[in-house]
């Protein structure tokens, strides 16, 4: 059944929102919970600093490679079907990763987790957009985003306690029960399906070009500033250019790049999202390392401190989404990016003597800024396309987010490679670690300021509608 016939059905809307919100909590718990467990993984499996950075980056790279393809397949064969298959995949791969006995098994598990998560990321906003009319879409997206941040809040707290008193492996299992509930609801309480009116053909060549380009680009970033790294970055960038040329000519593209040439709101909203996630995602990892290495706090305390940012996001995102239904998204999103810039600049001044209260205040400011950005920006992107393209538009949101997150971790991996090389983080290296963390926060603030400028230049969304 296609979108349009059920958007007024209040029961379907409620079930869809509950389904997406529960899964958003589940996947977000896993994402941040694993970051809290990184120091303990490094200790038990004897991982060096560069390998440690690849544990989150491998997950993100796999998500980035697959998210466009799954968004297109969801439009072709059913958004709920892809969504539930992805949820099942997350459960299976999480169990495998939690039982890993070596760094190779760990990274393979994270790659598989990323692939499964891409099926969820590429369809959650599409499902919401399929059942809610435009006038209420921003509010519904706001609740979904709030659920993500609730999961981001619960993940560090729960994982911190489990890592300290059980094992780092438990961080991969905490979200599994909730994911099983999502599968039950999806299979028994949501009997309808949504897909595009015209199935079309799957662009195999486009998927191949995109996947190879992303892997080449991010591998190159992590190997900078070596000559091989530069060569791979150039090759990956060329691959992205070839992908855009191919997609612009294809009748059924994975990614409707034509919108980048004809729709200023869509283009600037996507670029703004890319800048925001590039500037901020690595913060979760950096704060975890800062607290557990430089401040010597236990994982449970680190988890509690790290809750400050996502809790603020969870509290404010529904308000921001509701506000974007009636107020220009560019104004709200730009204000959010400005506040995030201020928070990142403050975090760039943190050192060993900084109090935990100061760390919490910095996280509160960045959390407030991010919450004012995310829902309005997603609402602007979804408002730029018609119902038959909701899957691809949702994929665009996911692509910008995942590539931004991946680029953020890639930059951190590069800086760690320059600062540490293949060595474990020991007390003798805490000085360089503190300098590296400050550099990363300052770079994030610069990128966020650039993104605020892009956000303000996107044009009037409600006027265009």
What total number of domains does the chain contain?
2
Residues in the chain: 465
CA pair distance 33, 152, nearest whole angstrom: 8
In a domain, 193, yes or no: no
**pLDDT average, residue stretch 270-287:** 86
Q: Does one domain contain both 282 and 342?
A: yes
Q: Tell me the pLDDT tens digit for each residue of 92-135.
A: 999 999 888 888 889 999 999 999 988 887 787 778 877 777 77
Q: Is residue 422 very low, low, confident or very high in pLDDT (cuts 50, 70, 90)? A: low
Which structural domain range is residue 227 located in?
Answer: 204-249
Q: What is the pLDDT of residues 212-268, one digit of tens each?
A: 998 898 788 767 777 888 899 899 989 989 998 898 888 877 777 776 777 777 778
**Helix 134-165 / helix 124-131 crossing angle, nearest 10 deg:** 150
Q: In whole angstroms, what separates CA 79 from the centre of its chain?
A: 19
Q: Are residues 183 and 220 in the same domain?
A: no
Q: Distance (Å, rounded) from C-alpha 363 to C-alpha 351?
A: 15
216 in any annotated domain: yes
Read off the DSSP letter of residue 369: H
- Three-state helix/strand/coil letters over 18-66: HHHHHHHHHHHHHHHHHHHCHHHHHHHHCCCHHHHHHHHHHHHHHHHHH
* Domain end among 226, 249, 272: 249
* C-alpha distances out from residue 13 to 79, 297, 362, Å: 15, 44, 37
Rg, C-alpha atoms of the chain: 21
| 448 within 8 A of 337, measured Cβ to Cβ | yes
For residue 189, what pLDDT is reported? 82
Q: How far apart are CA 295 and CA 366, in angstroms?
A: 21
Residue 446's pLDDT is what?
A: 93
Residue 392 pLDDT class (50, 70, 90 cuts)? low
Instruction: Please check whether residues 65 and 213 belong to one and the same domain.
Output: no
- Domain shared by 244 and 112, yes or no: no
Residue 411 — φ and ψ, nearest 5°?
A: -65, -40
CATH number at residue 432: 1.20.1250.20
Residue 343 and residue 242 share a domain: no
Rounded to two decimals, what is the model's pTM?
Answer: 0.71
Asked if the bond preceding 225 is cis, omega within 30° of 0, the reply is: yes
Task: Tell me the C-alpha distance between 245 and 28, whole Å.
Answer: 34
């Amino acid at each position: 059944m296609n979108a349009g016939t059920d958007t007024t059905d209040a029961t379907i809307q409620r079930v869809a929102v509950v389904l997406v919100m529960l899964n958003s909590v589940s996947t977000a718990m896993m994402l941040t919970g694993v970051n809290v467990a990184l120091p303990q993984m490094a200790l038990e499996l004897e991982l060096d600093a560069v390998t440690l950075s690849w544990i989150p980056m491998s997950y993100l790279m796999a998500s980035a490679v697959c998210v466009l393809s799954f968004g297109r397949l969801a439009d072709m064969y059913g958004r709920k079907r892809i969504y539930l298959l992805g949820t099942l995949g997350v459960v299976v791969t999480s169990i495998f990763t939690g039982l890993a006995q070596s760094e190779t098994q760990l990274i393979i598990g994270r790659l598989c987790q990323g692939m499964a998560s891409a099926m969820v990321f590429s369809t959650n906003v599409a499902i919401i957009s399929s059942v809610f009319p435009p006038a209420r879409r921003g509010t519904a997206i706001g609740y979904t985003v709030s659920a993500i941040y609730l999961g981001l809040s619960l993940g560090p707290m729960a994982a911190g306690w489990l890592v300290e008193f059980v094992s780092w492996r438990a961080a991969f299992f905490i979200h599994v029960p909730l994911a099983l509930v999502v599968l039950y609801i999806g299979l028994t309480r949501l009997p309808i399906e949504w897909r595009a009116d015209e199935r079309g053909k799957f662009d195999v060549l486009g998927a191949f070009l995109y996947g190879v380009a992303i892997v080449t680009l991010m591998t190159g970033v992590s190997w900078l500033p070596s000559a091989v790294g530069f060569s791979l970055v150039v090759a990956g960038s060329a691959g992205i250019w070839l992908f855009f040329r191919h997609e612009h000519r294809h009748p059924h593209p994975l990614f409707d790049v034509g919108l980048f040439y004809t729709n200023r709101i869509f283009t600037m909203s996507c670029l703004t999202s890319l800048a925001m996630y590039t500037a901020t995602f690595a913060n979760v990892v950096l704060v975890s390392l800062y607290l557990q290495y430089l401040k010597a706090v236990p994982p449970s305390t680190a988890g509690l401190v790290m809750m400050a940012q996502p809790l603020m996001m969870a509290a404010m995102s529904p308000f921001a989404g509701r506000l974007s239904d009636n107020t220009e998204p560019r104004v709200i999103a730009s204000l959010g990016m400005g506040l995030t810039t201020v928070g990142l600049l403050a975090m760039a001044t943190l050192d060993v003597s900084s109090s935990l209260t100061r760390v919490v205040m910095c996280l509160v400011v960045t959390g407030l800024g991010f919450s004012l950005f995310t829902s309005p920006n997603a609402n602007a992107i979804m408002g730029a396309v018609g119902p038959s393209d909701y899957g691809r538009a949702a994929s665009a949101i996911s692509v910008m987010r995942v590539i931004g997150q991946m680029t953020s971790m890639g930059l951190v991996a590069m800086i760690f490679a320059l600062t540490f090389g293949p060595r474990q983080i020991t007390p003798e290296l805490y000085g360089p670690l503190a300098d590296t963390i400050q550099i990363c926060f300052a770079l994030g603030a610069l990128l966020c300021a650039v993104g605020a400028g892009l956000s303000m230049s996107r044009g009037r969304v409600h006027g265009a509608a």
